[in-house]
Chains A and B, each alone.
Chain A
Amino acid sequence: MMKPVFMTYTKKDLINLAVCMVLSVLVIPSFITTEYWYTSILIPWLCLALATIGQQIVMGYTGQLALGAAGFMAAGAFAMFNLILRVPDLGFVGSLVVSGLIAAAFGILFGLPSLKVRGIYLMVATLASQFFIIWMIDKFGWFKNYDSSGIITAQDIVILGKPFTTPLAMYFVCLAVTTVLTLLAMNMARGSTGRNWMAVRDMDIAAESMGVSLLRTKVQAFAISAFYCGVAGALFAFCYLKSLEPVAFDIKLSFKILFMCILGGLGTINGAFIGAAFILLFPVLLNAIGNNVFHGAIDATIISSIEQVIFGGLMIIFMIYEPLGMAKLWENIKQKWKTKFPTMNIKNLTSSIGKKS
């Protein structure tokens, strides 16, 4: 166990953070010039990783099986749209925070069933949030500003009078927000808040006997989770989709985030980034293989079907052999590496890749 040197971060964390920052702020912008990488990979990766952290808080840390992250993302995205439209004085960052808070309010509402139902039944109950929020946005024209086309263009991002419209600028916006929220999530997870969550996850009756209020802890986890999802949803709509349509936040996205959470590793923050990267990059990789190895001989629809099959298979394999996901796998590889080459000092470098923020 290492002693934290700043806030809850150990020296190793700070080195990792520094490496990640150098990579993401200096190296990536100077080496990657194709827009495709920013608009289709890095920006959605950061947004979805942020939503996955939200899912981690409620599922990985607090042990509440919830499925409805995309619903909260939709709430965040449409709140953002309306705030910028109707309360322009808030500014981009202010609107982002308030849309997160609006999503958190929904999180509290739909987190209440967790007091009475658990496990798979809670999952069904939380599905209500998914359908309710999407329905509400569709039903009441006000949320879409009475736009008849169904797809609304997102407003341009303007922070302190400066426009952030290029892919690189949007990438930096996502990066900044994700970094700050990740660091805050780590503080919570490692502090007394995180201990309460995990106590409820591991043995709720004992937690209650220690004075941990189940009501407060569960609702708090749902609220914070929804806040993260809401902010992620706003970024997802404004930086990645650049448009707002409820269909983009359907149940499929919720499942995607759930898979990112499980594959990445339940109860880990860095697992959120690993899981999101894997699930986003995997189809890209398969497509590349399909195009370059088979030269288009395999139909794109077949490739996307194969993708589903492999995902399903991987989920099963992970559930059986490494329920703690890729983050744990990564830890194990590092451990093996360390015992194999004890003199090499690569641990800072290797662990940093996993904790990219």
Chain B
Amino acid sequence: MALERKFKIGKPILEVKNISLSFGGVKAITDTSFDVLEHEVRAIIGPNGAGKSSMLNCINGIYKPQQGTVSFKGKEIPNITPNIMAQMGLSRTFQNLALFKRMSVLDNILVGRKLHTKTNFLEVAFQLPKVKKEEKENRDRSEEIISFLEIEDIKNTPVGKLPYGLQKKVELGRALATDSSVILLDEPMAGMNVEEKRDMCRFILKVNDELGTTMVLIEHDMGVVMDISDRVVVLDYGKVIGDGTPDEVRSNQKVIDAYLGVEH
């Protein structure tokens, strides 16, 4: 991280203001605010049930928070849906893998190119020249991502048949294919071994470094989080209990209490 960055950390690109979300009587998130700066790697951490995934789902529009607003690229988005966010340039991966299981790796990544596909079904049915051109561009970009993630050898395998670690990689690839400016990663390294984790970290940093993509990630492995993120926000019981650089968060008493427990 000491090296000079190609993409300097800039202004806030994503702002979450006073979000409250509850399911019936269960409060998942209470009055939470934080922001994400352009080109940074931002981590959301917290114990189980702290509301991290709910937070991502609110940002992405899968959940509708009862209160609060999400602003993206300086605009407050009134009726967030996953589709609107995707069109505005926000992509994501899912905690429990949400790949298209019966489709090949290449096809999964090609779906990520949806927003760069302008031709309609009639043009596709008759395979007009512009469809061929567009398809070729999308395929080339997908192949680039596949070689970037070093998964060339499995590109024609149906993803349902792949081991977990590789599926996580494909999901990252699919999010990358959208060419989004912000990617939300929901536990990208859950269930991976040390080597796979190191690989994944490398890819996350490489993407951030080479493409300038803003990364928001949820992670449990504290070592990983402290190594790769620029800033960390800590949630506990749906509330922000710490926000700052990894060092600041590490020395925050509230965070230590939440993670290690505190004597009452």
Interface of A with B (CB < 8 Å)? 1, 7-8, 184-185, 187-188, 191-193, 195-196, 198-199, 201-203, 205-214, 220, 224, 267
Contact = CB atoms under 8 A, between A and B. Distances in A.
Nearest to B107: A195
B23 interface: no
Interface stretch (B8-16, B46-54, B113-121, B203-211): B113-121
B149 to A, nearest CB: 17
A210 B86 contact: yes
Given A187-B126, A191-B127, 8 more contacts: A192-B131, A195-B111, A205-B82, A205-B94, A205-B98, A206-B98, A206-B100, A212-B111
Nearest to A186: B125
Given A187-B125, A202-B103, A211 B115 contact: yes
The size bracket of the interface on B is 35 or more
B127 A203 contact: no
Contact of A210 (B91, B131, B135): B91
25 contacts: A184-B125, A188-B125, A191-B124, A192-B113, A192-B114, A195-B110, A195-B114, A198-B100, A198-B102, A199-B103, A201-B102, A202-B101, A202-B102, A202-B103, A203-B101, A206-B94, A206-B98, A208-B86, A209-B62, A209-B91, A210-B91, A210-B114, A210-B174, A211-B178, A267-B102
Q: Is the interface of A mostly helix, strand, loop or mixed?
A: helix
Contacts of A224: 121
Nearest to B120: A193
B127 to A, nearest CB: 4
A63 to B, nearest CB: 10
A113 to B, nearest CB: 19
Contacts of B156: 1
Contacts of A207: 100, 111
B125 A209 contact: no
Nearest to B115: A211
A185 B121 CA distance: 10
A202 B100 contact: yes
A191 B135 contact: yes
Interface string B109-149: 01111110101010011110001001100100000000000
A199 B111 contact: yes
Contact of B131 (A191, A195, A211, A214): A191
Give the top 6 A-B pairs by smallest Cβ distance, nearest first. A206-B98, A211-B86, A202-B100, A191-B124, A7-B127, A211-B115
A220 B124 CA distance: 13
A193 B156 CA distance: 19
A211 B83 contact: yes
Nearest to B106: A1
A137 B262 CA distance: 75
Interface string B88-100: 0001101000111
A2 to B, nearest CB: 11
Contacts of A201: 100, 102
A191 B126 CA distance: 11
Given A206-B94, A211-B83, A187 B127 contact: yes
B33 interface: no
A201 B117 CA distance: 19
A209 B60 contact: yes
Contacts of B113: 192
B22 interface: no
Contact of A203 (B87, B100, B112, B126): B100
Contacts of A267: 102
Nearest to A181: B125
B32 interface: no
Contacts of B111: 195-196, 199, 207, 210, 212
A195 B104 CA distance: 10
Given A202-B100, A205-B62, A205-B98, A220 B107 contact: no
A265 B138 CA distance: 29
A223 to B, nearest CB: 9
A208 B86 CA distance: 8
Identify which of B117, B125, B134 gathers the most chain A CB atoms within 10 Å of its CB: B125
A207 B101 CA distance: 12
A212 B107 CA distance: 14
Contacts of B124: 187-188, 191-193
Contacts of B87: 211
B81 interface: yes
Identify which of B107, B114, B121, B156 gathers the most chain A CB atoms within 10 Å of its CB: B121
B83 A208 contact: yes
A303 B139 CA distance: 53
Contacts of B110: 192, 195
Contacts of B119: 192
Given A8-B127, A192-B117, A206-B94, A199 B82 contact: no
A184 B135 contact: no
B87 to A, nearest CB: 6
Nearest to A184: B125
A224 B124 CA distance: 13
A167 B174 CA distance: 52
A212 B134 CA distance: 17
Contact of A206 (B99, B115, B125, B131): B99
A51 to B, nearest CB: 18
